[in-house]
Amino acid sequence: MSANCEIFVYGATPGGIGAAIAAARRGRRVVLAEPTGHIGGLMTSGLGRTDIDWPEASGAIYREFLHKVLTHYTDRYGAGSRQVEECRGGMFFEPSVASQLFAEMLEAEKPNLTVITRCLLKRAVTEHGRLVAVEAPAADGGVTRWQADAFIDATYEGDLAAAAGVPYLTGRESRDDWNEEYAGVLYMNFDPTKKVLPGSTGEGDHRIQAYNYRLCLTDVPENRVTCYKPEVYQREDYTSLIGDVEAGRVKSIRDVLNILPVPNGKTDANNHHYCMCSSDLPEENQEYLEGDEFVRQRIRTRQRHYLEGLLWFLQNDESLPAAFRQDALRFGYAADEFADNGHFPPQLYVREGRRICGEYMFTENDARLAPGLDRTPIHADSVVVGSYAIDSHATRKREPEGEHVALEGFLGLGWITEIYQVPYGVMVPQKVDGLLVPVAVSATHMGLGTIRMEPCWMQLGFAAGVAADMSLALNIPERRMPIDLLQDRLLEEGQMITYFRDAAPLTEEGTALQYWGAKGVFGGYEARPDQPASMAFASRLLALARLLPGGRSLPALPASASILPAGVDMGPRLPKDEPSPAAYWQAHPMLTRPMLERWVETLNRRLSAGVSLSGDAGLKSGFSGGAGDSSGSIIRVGELCRIVYQFLKNNRS
């Protein structure tokens, strides 16, 4: 059986949801296909405390989701409620709430958007280097062939990209591969010292960081389901905790699991950074990425049994002190979450899947201060702002080298990670056209260690949806995307492509500053939009603008501040007795309003530029006197950036 759509998104993760919604809102016929029966990935499967260090650096679809979460708790419980306080502006939520909100967001895009589940990829079809179709088993035992004009792989694993023949990486690079200081084999104490232990050779290998499940537990008796012993219980998995308890390294269940609150007395319970035996299961996921569905299900089952067994051990094993067990028994599964799955989350936390080889390789260095700048490296094709500390979970189980404080591969680089730009090239695969990959992006193990957070993936997916629409509208391959046009569209949608501490990002002026931030105009996280714009800054900005799409025809600023309107008699005058131009500009270094108005009037008169002097800045249009009138008000940096960006945008649209 054959079926058709314009854009086929594989994987209903938050990244896939972002992609599908973006494309559907632009009028495309979109199919969002999920290989399992579960929609929403980790954000609807227990990860209720989204990993983002600077929420103010997020935009578009993720901000929309945050607003919906906050509105949900406000409408249901009241603005002053504990639930509203606990949701932290929408960042913290119950799995069932995330499921409801995602369902509503997808439903709102009908009929452009169709969601299908249990659509497990069987084969990808490429012709002349372009992905043209995918095949999946049909309910009648046959095969459904989905044909589309563009495809987006939003799976955690990168399955569609791999099936289409995209080159990819797994495992870890060495320090030498990309000059990453903390790459490769590393034993780091996760505590505040971040002490690096002997044995940290930095060599690369095939190892993949540990997976787990994010548990939604509760200590509210009326909503608590007692933890149960798994079908397969391997007590030896947990006996090392006995010695940890006896030595005082582990004092309660909260030292084994990182149990953090979400609204209504529930938790997002994750692996504990300081425990050598927690909810992660290192080493036992090595076959997952290249395994077939049988292998993957075996690993999922083993991970579930392991985690169910860990809870059972902590609550019932008599080798632990009675007080320890009694305290652990306070927690159980939330009765109103995952009822159809034994109250256990359905989605395995695939922290790291395949990593495609794309047009750009994002590394540790892209999320750290760039030498000589006061910010991370600048990417002219930035489409997303990322804002989470580089980290990785363990790749090996407990060893003597870890000295009871470190598991190999477990690291957190919060003290050196900064807000960063994510370039479009990370989701454009090598060799295969017709495909974008916003989740299994082109990154090293260390680079993915910060991109891999759901807010970032969701926004990358949104950018992929907009880009897929544009590639079809312009009839060009995704890799030939006119980046500036894409950035224009993303900024219009509220996406952030650059972060500044001192600029409101979603205003007309703020979006212009973001655009110039991606082009390298500002060397730090402050744009200083209210500072006076110097003539030197204005001239350099125009020089850069002429190199960008739409800017080639931009005229130079007037070389003189003494230009009178035509019809006004210039004489009598002795110009050679006046200060030289160099001396004049040295004495008058700032761009004045009359000079800017004269320049803008030339743009509009000679180039039909359609540039407005009003905007956010409140500039008044119309010539207000001789440009030599140095008493005119000074122009702000933000005003000038907005006006020049407005010209570029108008001229290339």
Dump pLDDT digits (tens) for 20-47.
Answer: 999 999 999 999 999 999 999 999 999 9
- On the 0-12 / 13-18 / 19+ scale of CB atoms within 10 A, 498 is buried
Mean pLDDT of 516-537: 97
pLDDT at 171 over 90: yes
Q: Is the pLDDT of residue 621 over 90?
A: no
- Pairing state between β 113-117 and 30-34: parallel
Residue 632 and residue 533 in contact, taking contact as beta carbons nearer than 8 Å: no
Asked which of 321, 341, 361 is the last residue of a domain, the reply is 341
- CB count, 10 Å around CB of 75? 10
Beta-sheet pairing, 143-153 with 435-436: parallel
Contact (Cβ atoms closer than 8 angstroms) between residue 379 and residue 361: no
Pairing of strands 2-10, 143-153: parallel
Mean per-residue pLDDT over the chain, rounded: 94
For position 1, what pLDDT does the model report? 81
Question: What does the pLDDT read at residue 608?
Answer: 83
Residues 6+ apart with CB under 8 A from 195: 188, 189
Phi and psi angles of residue 404, each rounded to the nearest 5 degrees, phi first: 65, 10
Contact in structure between 253 and 328 (CB atoms under 8 Å): yes
Of 293, 317, 341, the residue that ends a domain is: 341
More confident of the two residues 606 and 321: 321
Ramachandran angles phi, psi of 181, nearest 5°: -60, -35
Q: Which residue has the tokens 């994510």?
A: 422
Are residue 285 and residue 139 in the same domain, yes or no?
Answer: no
Average of pLDDT values for 465-489?
A: 97
| Cβ burial 404-441 (10 Å sphere, 16+ → b, else e) | ebbbbbbbbbeeebbbbbbbbbbbbbeebbbbbbbbbb
Shared-domain flag, residues 444 and 332: no
User: Residue 368 falls within a domain, yes or no?
Assistant: no
Local structure of residue 490 (DSSP, 8 states): H
Which pLDDT band holds residue 632 (cuts at 50, 70, 90)?
A: low
**Residue 294 and residue 298: Cα distance in Å, rounded?**
6
Confidence of residue 624 (pLDDT cuts 50, 70, 90): very low
Q: What is the CATH number of the domain that holds 439?
A: 3.50.50.60
In angstroms, rounded to a whole number, what is the distance separating the alpha carbons of residues 423 and 261?
A: 34
pLDDT of amino acid 622 = 29
Distance CA 57, CA 384 (A): 9
Whether residues 168 and 305 fall in one domain: no
> What local confidence, expressed as pLDDT, does residue 73 receive?
98
* Distance (Å, whole) CA 484 – CA 392: 33
pLDDT at 615 over 80: no
If asked whether residues 8 and 128 sit together in one domain, one would say: yes
Residues 78, 82, 84, CA angle at the centre, nearest 5°? 60
Into how many domains does the chain fold? 3
pLDDT tens readout for residues 94-117 = 999 999 999 999 999 999 999 999
Residues 321 and 241 in one domain: yes
Tell which residue, 465, 470, 435, 417, has the closest CA to residue 359. 435
Contact predicate 286/205, CB 8 Å: no
- Measure Cα distances from 392 to 111, 230, 282, 362, 566 in Å: 40, 28, 12, 15, 67
Kindly state whether residue 433 falls inside one of the protein's structural domains: yes
- Tell me the one-letter amino acid at 511: T
Domain match, 484 and 531 both: no
In this predicted structure, what is the pLDDT of residue 623?
27
Domain membership of residue 307 (yes or no) is yes
121 shares a domain with 23: yes
Do 588 and 645 have their domain in common?
yes
The residues that bridge with 7 in the sheet, in sequence order, are 30, 150
Note whether residue 633 is domain-resident. Answer: yes
Same domain, yes or no: 147 and 259: no
| Predicted pLDDT of residue 474 | 97
Domain contains 192: no
Contacts of 274 (CB under 8 A, 6+ apart): 190, 191, 255, 405
Per-residue pLDDT at 52 = 75
Q: What angle in degrees, to the nearest 10, is found between the helix axes of 483-492 and 508-518?
A: 150
Q: Residues 433-461: pLDDT tens digits? A: 999 999 999 999 999 999 999 999 999 99
CA distance 73 to 81: 8
Residue 609 has pLDDT above 80, yes or no: no
The DSSP bridge pattern shows strands 143-153 and 355-356 to be unpaired
- Average pLDDT over every residue of 305-334: 98
CA distance 344 to 352: 21
Strand partners of residue 145: 2, 135
377 assigned to some structural domain: no
Q: How many CB atoms lie within 10 A of CB 221?
A: 9
pLDDT score recorded for residue 55: 76
Indicate the residue among 322, 341, 360 that finishes a domain. Answer: 341
- pLDDT at position 616 is 47
Q: Which tens digit of pLDDT belongs to each residue from 328-384?
A: 999 999 999 999 999 999 999 999 999 999 999 999 999 999 999 999 999 999 999
C-beta pairs of 583-589 under 8 Å, 24+ apart in sequence: 585/535, 588/535, 588/561, 588/630, 589/534, 589/535, 589/536
Confidence of residue 630 (pLDDT cuts 50, 70, 90): very low
Residue 618: pLDDT over 90: no
User: 562 lies in which domain range?
Assistant: 524-652
What residues have CB less than 8 Å from 341, skipping those under 6 apart? Answer: none
Alpha carbon distance 128, 145 (integer Å)? 18
Specify whether 468 is located in the same domain as 569. no
| Separation of alpha carbons 85 and 31, rounded Å | 37
Return the percentage of the chain with pLDDT > 70, whole number: 97
Mean pLDDT of 553-560: 93
Which residue has 């270094």 as its token pair?
A: 589
What 447-450 contacts at long range (C-beta under 8 Å, 24+ apart), as own/partner pairs, is 447/361, 447/362, 447/363, 447/364, 447/366, 447/367, 447/390, 448/352, 448/355, 448/362, 449/364, 449/390, 449/391, 449/392, 449/411, 449/413, 450/367, 450/386, 450/388, 450/389, 450/390, 450/391, 450/417, 450/420
In this structure, the answer to whether residues 461 and 610 fall within a common structural domain is no
pLDDT in tens, 558-596: 999 888 899 999 999 999 999 999 999 999 999 999 899
Task: Assess whether 452 and 549 both reside in one domain.
Answer: no
What is the pLDDT at residue 142?
87
Burial category of 568 from C-beta neighbours within 10 Å (exposed 0-12, middle 13-18, buried 19 and up) = exposed
Model-level pTM?
Answer: 0.95
Cβ–Cβ < 8 Å for 267, 311: no
**Alpha carbons 56 and 41: distance in angstroms, whole number:** 23
